[in-house]
A and B are shown apart, each in its own frame.
Chain A
Amino acid sequence: MSKPIYFDYQATTPLDERVLDAMLPYFREKFGNAASRNHEFGWEAEKAVDVARGQIAALIGADGKEIVFTSGATESNNLAIKGVAEMYREKGRHLITAPTEHKAVLDPMKRLEQEGCTVTYLPVDKSGQVSVADVAKALRPDTVLVSLMAANNEIGTLHPIEAIGKLCKERGVLFHTDATQGVGKIPVDVDRMGIDLLSLSGHKIYGPKGIGALYVRRRNPRVRLSPQMDGGGHERGMRSGTLNVPGIVGLGKACELAGAELASESVRLTALRERLWSKLKEGLDEIHLNGHPTERLPGNLNVSFAYVEGEGLMMGIADLAVSSGSACTSASLEPSYVLKAIGVGDDLAHTSIRFGLGRFTTEEQVDYAAQRTIAAVRRLREMSPLYEMAKEGIDLSHVKWSPTAGH
């Protein structure tokens, strides 16, 4: 077993060799511009792009013509949210989302608020889910868009997308879902789920970085977007810029593979995730699962190890590449806003570790991770004044602390 072991599949995924093989010719001899309509090089590139559109569309139950290529999910989210808000300004200026969304949704929303739009942030329960009833309550005559993620990147929680999509259809409101973490991992069907706009990214599904797509519904209803990038009018005018042909070919291949392996992979990864969770529970007391026990991404396990700070723990399991909701690991020095939104106190947010499992995770790796983590948590608890106090029966929430030093 080679080390370090990668357990951060929600951050990014390694490029699948089969994807790389599909891409390579488009870096070499097949270098044409897909917009060159008058020679073989251009036709070859255009053909490859069309194949990729079909592969991507097939994974989400869409039509190839409904795929708009972007640089990634951040751009897709920006295009969907700002593009709809601008295009439907006359209809209304109200949008709905949730506080647990990715920053690539929240920050465009914030910008729209600065520009005079109103945004409703739906409450989430302690697993991180919104309720359909709350969406219904938040809808107004001037609501132009509901944007809710398919699966959360930190805690893996799945929203009831199908029910929300149906509701939006009934009420004639556009529904966008950031499915960056969900596509290829859980079944997604834009028609069945009433999705009008869907963001996806290559590098979360064993494809290349720097390529993503936005699904834009063409029928029932036909969604219009105000472009955020002006230029040569590529992608039906919604996103100008020469197409990244090798990236697109890679994204297409990645979608094809993800679709073919989705059913078996989700079963395999769910079993591995449950194996890791039960081993950790057997080995340690006072650990808490963050997110939903069952309605979650197969490859996501987010755990708070009480009394052990996340970054300190990561140092003790340095041969496992994981991530943490601890303040110390974030650029902002604030603990995870997602954990905060689902009611995890700052004290437990600081102790959280996200284990991301994926296509190349093995049972042997999971067993090693469990054993390493248990040993490190035990060692650090022996060093933790909080663990000692808790064992003495002191209620830590009633201790008068003296925060100092830059906090």
Chain B
Amino acid sequence: MAYSDKVLDHYNHPRNIGSLDKEAADVGTGVVGAPECGDVMRLQIKVNDKGVIEDAKFKTFGCGSAIASSSLATEWVKGRTVEQALQIRNVDIVQELALPPVKVHCSVLAEDAIRAALADYQKKQQAHAAEPQKAG
């Protein structure tokens, strides 16, 4: 199977590889997939006080399309608000990377990773907001 130029570019020059502090209140972490299935993605976002995602990092165990999908996802979430990031759909990733049908699941996984990271961030925010009330 031949890879598209964009997949090759992301694979060879992945954007935003790395880790953010998963304990920090302004960081959301999403880990999706399973080693037995051949792909695991971890996507992390850091949200500033204006609700804008100012940084994103990923690490992925998977094929080239999985790596490219998660790399692209980090590029796309950066600079978006949490609500805007929720609008990213796997079909957009499929289109951008020209993924063949057999690789569509990589894009689904990337969408799931974005959602999981956003959900983790929102959960932390709610817990954070609830805390002072409890204390009072």
Contacts and interface: CB of A to CB of B under 8 A. Distances in A.
Interface of A: 307-312, 315-316, 326-328, 333, 335, 345-347, 350, 382-388, 396, 401-407
B34 A384 contact: no
A36 B40 CA distance: 63
Interface string B56-67: 000111111011
Contacts of B59: 383-385, 388
Contacts of B11: 312, 315-316
Nearest to B8: A315
B105 A405 contact: yes
Given A383-B14, A401-B40, A406-B108, A312 B34 contact: no
A403 B61 contact: no
State the 9 A-B residue pairs at the shortest beta-carbon distance, nearest first: A401-B34, A347-B35, A406-B105, A405-B108, A311-B63, A346-B36, A385-B42, A385-B59, A350-B38
Contact of B3 (A310, A315, A406): A315
B41 interface: yes
Given A350-B38, A401-B33, A402-B34, A309 B109 contact: no
Contact of A309 (B32, B39, B108): B39
A328 B62 CA distance: 9
B130 interface: no
A87 to B, nearest CB: 42
A386 B33 contact: no
Contacts of B106: 405
Interface string B104-129: 11101100100010000000000000
Given A385-B31, A401-B33, A312 B62 contact: yes
Interface of B: 3, 11, 14, 17, 19, 31-42, 59-64, 66-67, 102, 104-106, 108-109, 112, 116
Contacts of B105: 405-407
A385 B41 contact: yes
B62 A309 contact: yes
A405 B61 contact: no
B63 A315 contact: yes
B66 A312 contact: yes
A386 B41 CA distance: 9
A386 B59 CA distance: 9
Contacts of B17: 382-383
Instruction: With a 10 A CB-CB cut-off, give which of A309, A326, A385, A401 has the most chain B CB atoms.
Output: A385
Contacts of B32: 402, 404-405
B59 to A, nearest CB: 4
B104 A335 contact: no
A306 B31 CA distance: 19
B38 A335 contact: yes
Instruction: Please indicate which of the listed interface residues B11, B104, B112 has the most CB atoms of chain A within 10 Å of its own CB.
Output: B11
Given A326-B38, A405-B105, A386 B61 contact: yes
A341 B31 CA distance: 29
B38 A309 contact: yes
A311 B106 CA distance: 13
A315 B67 CA distance: 11
Contacts of B19: 388
Nearest to B63: A311
Contact of A406 (B14, B60, B61, B104): B104
22 contacts: A308-B61, A309-B62, A311-B63, A312-B62, A312-B64, A315-B3, A315-B64, A328-B38, A333-B102, A385-B31, A388-B19, A401-B40, A402-B32, A403-B37, A404-B32, A405-B105, A405-B106, A405-B108, A405-B112, A406-B104, A406-B105, A407-B105
A404 B38 contact: no
Contact of A407 (B37, B63, B67): B37
A309 B63 contact: yes
A327 B109 CA distance: 16
A385 B61 CA distance: 6
Contacts of A335: 38
Contact of A350 (B31, B35, B112): B35
Nearest to A350: B38
